[in-house]
Structure 1
Amino acid sequence: MLRLTSALIFASLAASAVAADDFTPPNCSLDEHCPEEYPCCSVYGQCGTGAYCLGGCDPLMSYSLDSCAPMPICQSKTYKWENLDNAATNNEYLGNASESDWVYSGYPKLEDGNLLLTMPKNSVGSLFANNHYVWYGKIGANIKSSRGQGVVTAFILLSDTKDEIDYEWVGADLTEVQTNWYFQGILDWTNGDSSKVDGDDTFGEWHHYEIDWSPDELKWNVDGKTVRTLTKESTFNETANRYDYPQTPSRMQLSLWPAGQASNAQGTIEWAGGEIDWDHEDIKTKGYYYATYGEVTVECYDPPSGTSVKGDVSYDFKDNKGLDSSVEITNNKTVLASLGATGLDMDLGSNSTMLS
């Protein structure tokens, strides 16, 4: 069914929340890169500085490869939800993943030791993104999806060059989970699939979902059983002489969003089961749609054989091919000094530069 990737649709819905009221940022694409003044091409397809240069900043569409800040390296960790002290809003996070494991927009809540991503009436929902990039590894989460036509819950990996690995739950069908993958955001409608989930429904019952991603094979596991496998070998593109396989460092994202919003493309609305009902019983009784996330785990795998390793702090792109061979591991810092800083001048706006 014709639609954009879920990550790009959610980004387009949320874009207006990031831009300043009096500033219309230039757009960016592979054909039209960002200008030096606003060098970073964000996940929203707009150019800017500061937050635009962090998670989601696409080096292939930016002014230069080093316009985006380096990506914090993978960290094996288990996340529980006693509080949100390790989470920062997307307008205050400056790249310090040691201080903030997560960055978010929207309306997260805590309830009974779990994370609730909520979507109040006429909102664009909530997004929770991990700041430690995964470059091959296993991520898992206990999840109860949202419900209702037009409402989509997601648990995905998304790279800055738009490699993507998805779990998605369409609220109009609580018997299955959809799986999908993309390479550099290239839309291929044959990549999607779905799997039945045991039990009564995905909203009322907990299930454990895993993405097991290695350089040669990708597995989607539900409740300990593999429901889908993709091999790198099967993705070879003879025309481009490359593997169209997700292969670059990616951020884990948890989200709840209104795919059935009336302003979306008709194909997206149909895929989501119809237009969203803003008078649904969850809106009436709770004040919002919601998806529930329990314990989340990350297990980092070793980088691909032959990777250039010059440190243990960050991932960087060394060429514009957007392949795993384009990535190196460095000691380059990941933290910007201010919302005016970029990868080209990460100290801009610090006390030292202001005094000089």
Structure 2
Amino acid sequence: MFFKPISAAAVALAASGLVAAQTSIKCNPLYMTCPADPAFGSEGVNCDFTKGACSAFQALEGTTPEYNGNGAVFEIQREFEAPTMATAKYIFFGRIDIVLQAAPGRGIVTSVVLQSDDLDEIDWEWVGSDNAQAQSNYFSKGNTSTYDRGAYHPVGNPTGSFHTYTIEWTSKVVNWMIDGNSVRTLTPEQANGGATYPQTPMQIKLGTWVAGGTASAPGTAQWAGGYTDFTAAPFIAYYKSISIVDYASSDAPSSSGVDEYVYGDRSGSSQSIQSH
């Protein structure tokens, strides 16, 4: 069981605007008419952060990323720091492959989050005090009434070595992979017959944050291995590279020239999404 009181990256620390930015949205199409989501479409994205910044990602407020031979450097020195980058464009089903080394440290969390405007979500997360596992998770429409969707997966030395972590997401299955090996699958039938299956266009967010801070709920700190000892700072995660493929509403790579995704109604169903 997960003890996280909220989804993937930090609304638990809502006192920090920087942390909340990792999962915040500007307009929820379940409740209002929102701008279209710009699509990656047939545009292939391959970011090598060892060579510097990648135009597909934007640094969010409070984040000034540095780059070196290990990639994008996400460093935490103090409690309310939460370095985060996000794509401006979205995938509507697709695949990401990211090479990273998670940050060590009690209470420190490294995350890769796929998130839609209506708060569907598919995650990878690493707890800095657990150097033997990665965690997968998903959410639907921002529903955090239960926390029984997470799973743990063995991986060797995730805070001290690089691994390739993959999410392939289609209308039929979500597949989480580590170094090319599938460690978990989720079908719509396993997600309340599809009712809670992530199914709306998502952007990709990369972030590192403090789950063991003084403002953290006890359950959040417990999940993250305890309260953070900042005398052990800095805590550093390295994001080396990422590839992004937008399936553009299909279940496989598509060559269609899609420019944007529009919510056709307020149902939040994949069938309501219009590709233009």
- Give the TM-score normalised by the residue count of structure 1: 0.69
Counterpart residue type for residue 28 of structure 2: D
Please say if residues 210 and 222 of structure 1, whose CA atoms lie closer than 8 Å, have aligned partners that are also in contact. Answer: yes
Please say if residues 155 and 168 of structure 1, whose CA atoms lie closer than 8 Å, have aligned partners that are also in contact. Answer: yes
User: CA offset at residue 174 of structure 1?
Assistant: 0.9
Q: Partner of 2:172 in structure 1?
A: 216
Q: 2:37 aligns with which of 62, 68, 71?
A: 71
Please say if residues 12 and 44 of structure 1, whose CA atoms lie closer than 8 Å, have aligned partners that are also in contact. Answer: no
Q: Partner of 1:353 in structure 2?
A: none
Structure 1 gap ranges (5+): 20-41, 46-51, 87-99, 306-310, 331-356
CA distance in 2, matches of 1:144, 1:295: 11
Matched ranges for 1:174-253 at <5 A: 174-187=131-144, 188-197=146-155, 199=156, 201-236=157-192, 243-253=195-205
The alignment status of 1:289 with 2:259, answered yes or no, reads no
Q: 1:14 to 1:58 in 2, by over 3 A?
A: farther
Q: Partner of 2:215 in structure 1?
A: 263
User: CA offset at residue 8 of structure 1?
Assistant: 5.0
Q: Partner of 1:272 in structure 2?
A: 224
CA distance in 1, matches of 2:24, 2:124: 21
User: CA offset at residue 15 of structure 1?
Assistant: 2.5
Counterpart residue type for residue 258 of structure 2: D
Q: Partner of 2:52 in structure 1?
A: 83
Cα deviation 1:184-213 (Å, max 9, x = unaligned): 11123220100010x3x1111110000010
CA distance in 2, matches of 1:115, 1:83: 7
Q: 1:315 to 1:8 in 2, by over 3 A?
A: farther
User: CA offset at residue 83 of structure 1?
Assistant: 2.5
Structure 2 gap ranges (5+): 252-256
Q: 1:230 to 1:272 in 2, by over 3 A?
A: same
CA distance in 2, matches of 1:129, 1:317: 21
Q: 1:13 to 1:146 in 2, by over 3 A?
A: farther
Deviates most, 74-83 or 210-219: 74-83
Matched ranges for 1:51-200 at <5 A: 52=26, 57-61=27-31, 64-65=32-33, 68-74=34-40, 75-81=43-49, 82-84=51-53, 86=55, 101-105=57-61, 106-112=63-69, 114-187=71-144, 188-197=146-155, 199=156
User: CA offset at residue 85 of structure 1?
Assistant: 6.4
CA distance in 1, matches of 2:128, 2:28: 31
Larger Rg: 1
User: CA offset at residue 235 of structure 1?
Assistant: 1.6
Cα deviation 1:121-153 (Å, max 9, x = unaligned): 233220111112111111011110001110000
Please say if residues 83 and 110 of structure 1, whose CA atoms lie closer than 8 Å, have aligned partners that are also in contact. Answer: yes
- Give the TM-score normalised by the residue count of structure 2: 0.88
Q: 1:299 aligns with which of 236, 245, 248?
A: 245
SS at match of 2:9: helix
User: CA offset at residue 182 of structure 1?
Assistant: 0.7
User: CA offset at residue 304 of structure 1?
Assistant: 4.6
User: CA offset at residue 296 of structure 1?
Assistant: 0.4
Please say if residues 157 and 251 of structure 1, whose CA atoms lie closer than 8 Å, have aligned partners that are also in contact. Answer: yes
Q: 1:291 to 1:18 in 2, by over 3 A?
A: closer
Q: Partner of 1:34 in structure 2?
A: none
Q: Partner of 1:4 in structure 2?
A: 6
Q: 1:12 to 1:118 in 2, by over 3 A?
A: same
SS at match of 1:169: strand
CA distance in 2, matches of 1:225, 1:18: 32
Q: Percent identity?
A: 28
CA distance in 2, matches of 1:323, 1:85: 31
Please say if residues 216 and 233 of structure 1, whose CA atoms lie closer than 8 Å, have aligned partners that are also in contact. Answer: no
Please say if residues 10 and 257 of structure 1, whose CA atoms lie closer than 8 Å, have aligned partners that are also in contact. Answer: no
SS at match of 1:270: helix
Q: 1:145 to 1:272 in 2, by over 3 A?
A: same
- Figure out how many residues of one structure are paired with residues of the other and give that number: 265
Q: Which has the higher contact order (CA 8 A, sep 6+)?
A: 2
CA distance in 2, matches of 1:304, 1:104: 30
Counterpart residue type for residue 38 of structure 2: P
Q: 1:85 to 1:121 in 2, by over 3 A?
A: same
Counterpart residue type for residue 47 of structure 2: Y
